[in-house]
């Protein structure tokens, strides 16, 4: 018994850590896979892999995520989060690595019925089908409640050592964490900006105007106050010294970088290329309105421009 080789999706949360521990107990060689984009990073996964002592493959998932944002087959969750398709595509990418490298399975830390909508038997089945991994997707924490997978049937993965956790209570996972000596794991929620309402507003505005093909603008999404000006240009106004410096560094040929008059403290603002003259003029007024300019510069009132502001 044993000898299976698998890639386990590692988010850094407790369940994905436990999945690795259980798979190893069942005789498998396990390597981790995690994904990064401008919307979520790999830091927690790197920390988990260090703790578990496994090799971690960090995959740039930006192109996939942008394609899903443009066309999410199963739609969005509560914000701009195409979770069903995102999760299935991650598993599909892991499956491609499995085939390329002659591994036997892909695993996740999903627990049956832990989330009533996304982790019931039917949706776990949808993910398996959408990802094209039929029979090779192992959920070690709930495996005994699911159909045996191919590596289990082939005797390469000891089904007896896999678990039957289910439901929303976390007691089983917490007891297991203590057994495996896992400490300092982050809470399961958080980490993906696509689930945040404020960030989603910025993203939707960018999608509706400039689109998502300019990755520089995608990467700048968390930065600045956002205005959509009457001529259609999107203005990014720095909120602190760090953002002001970042906007100055990010400007490329054709952009308009606006700064307060010399000797006046205030923000920088970036207008991506293509802004009309009227928007550029209004951008200058906004910079002045948010600066510390005194009456000599006749700074306009902020109130006039607040109506163009999308998010702080
Ligand atoms: S929370 Fe973010 S990273 Fe996770 S499945 Fe949803 S969209 Fe993808």
Task: State which ligand 1 atom lies nearest to the alpha carbon of 87.
Answer: 5
Distance 192 CA to ligand 1 centre (A): 6
Distance 83 CA to ligand 1 centre (A): 5
In this structure, the residue with its CA closest to atom 6 of ligand 1 is 83
Q: Report whether residue 34 contacts ligand 1, using a CB cutoff of 6 Å.
A: no
The residues of the chain that CATH labels 3.40.50.620 are 5-180
Using DSSP's 3-state secondary structure scheme, residue 163 falls into: coil
Give the pairing of strands 309-311 and 225-228: antiparallel
Distance 218 CA to ligand 1 centre (A): 17
User: What pLDDT is recorded for position 286?
Assistant: 98
Q: How far apart are CA 244 and CA 259, in angstroms?
A: 9
Question: What are the start-end ranges of the E strands in 17-89?
Answer: 29-36, 56-60
User: What pLDDT is recorded for position 194?
Assistant: 97
Report CA dihedral (299, 304, 308, 311) to the nearest 10 degrees: 70
Q: Report whether residue 195 contacts ligand 1, using a CB cutoff of 6 Å.
A: yes
Distance 145 CA to ligand 1 centre (A): 25
Q: Indicate the burial class of 237 (C-beta count within 10 angstroms; 0-12, 13-18, 19 or more).
A: buried
Q: How far apart are CA 57 and CA 81, in angstroms?
A: 23
Q: How far apart are CA 22 and CA 173, in angstroms?
A: 11
- The alpha carbon of 288 is separated from its chain's Cα centroid by a whole number of angstroms, namely 35
- In the sheet that 309-311 helps form, which strands lie side by side, from edge to edge? 256-258, 269-271, 234-237, 225-228, 309-311
Distance 295 CA to ligand 1 centre (A): 49
Q: What is the second-level CATH architecture of the domain 5-180?
A: 3-Layer(aba) Sandwich (3.40)
In this structure, the residue with its CA closest to atom 5 of ligand 1 is 83
Distance 298 CA to ligand 1 centre (A): 47
The residues that bridge with 112 in the sheet, in sequence order, are 166
In this structure, the residue with its CA closest to atom 3 of ligand 1 is 192
Q: Report whether residue 16 contacts ligand 1, using a CB cutoff of 6 Å.
A: no
pTM: 0.91
User: What pLDDT is recorded for position 23?
Assistant: 98
Q: Report whether residue 203 contacts ligand 1, using a CB cutoff of 6 Å.
A: no
Q: Report whether residue 288 contacts ligand 1, using a CB cutoff of 6 Å.
A: no
What are the mean pLDDT values of the chain's consecutive 10-residue runs (312 residues total)? 90 94 97 97 95 97 98 94 93 96 97 84 84 93 96 97 94 93 77 94 97 97 97 98 98 97 96 97 97 94 95 80
Tokens of residue 144, six digits:
């005994």
């Amino acid at each position: 018994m044993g000898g299976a080789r698998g890639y386990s999706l590692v988010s850094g949360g407790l369940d994905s850590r436990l999945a690795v521990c259980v798979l190893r107990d069942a005789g498998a060689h396990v390597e981790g896979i995690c994904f990064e984009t401008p919307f979520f990073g790999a830091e927690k996964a790197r920390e988990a892999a260090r703790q578990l002592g496994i090799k971690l493959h960090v995959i740039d998932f930006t192109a996939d995520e942008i394609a899903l944002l443009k066309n999410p087959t199963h739609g969005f969750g509560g914000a701009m989060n195409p979770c069903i398709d995102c999760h299935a595509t991650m598993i599909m990418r892991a499956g491609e690595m499995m085939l390329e490298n002659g591994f036997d399975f892909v695993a996740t830390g999903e627990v049956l019925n832990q989330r009533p909508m996304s982790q019931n038997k039917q949706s776990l089945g949808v993910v398996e089908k959408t990802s094209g991994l039929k029979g090779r997707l192992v959920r070690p924490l709930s495996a005994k409640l699911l159909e045996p997978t191919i590596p289990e049937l082939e005797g390469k993965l000891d089904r007896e050592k896999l678990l039957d956790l289910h439901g929303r209570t976390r007691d089983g996972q917490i007891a297991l964490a203590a057994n495996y000596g896992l400490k300092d794991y982050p809470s399961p929620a958080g980490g993906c900006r696509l689930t945040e309402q404020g960030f989603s507003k910025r993203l939707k505005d960018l999608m509706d105007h400039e689109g998502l093909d300019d990755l520089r603008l995608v990467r700048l999404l968390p930065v600045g106050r956002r205005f959509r000006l009457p001529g259609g240009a999107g203005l990014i106004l720095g909120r602190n010294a760090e953002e002001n410096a970042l906007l100055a560094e990010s400007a490329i040929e054709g952009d308009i970088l606006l700064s307060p008059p010399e000797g006046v403290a205030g923000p920088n603002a970036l207008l991506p290329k293509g802004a009309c003259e009227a928007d550029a003029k209004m951008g200058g007024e906004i910079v002045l309105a948010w600066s510390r300019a005194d009456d000599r510069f006749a700074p306009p009132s902020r109130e006039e421009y607040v109506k163009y502001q999308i998010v702080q």
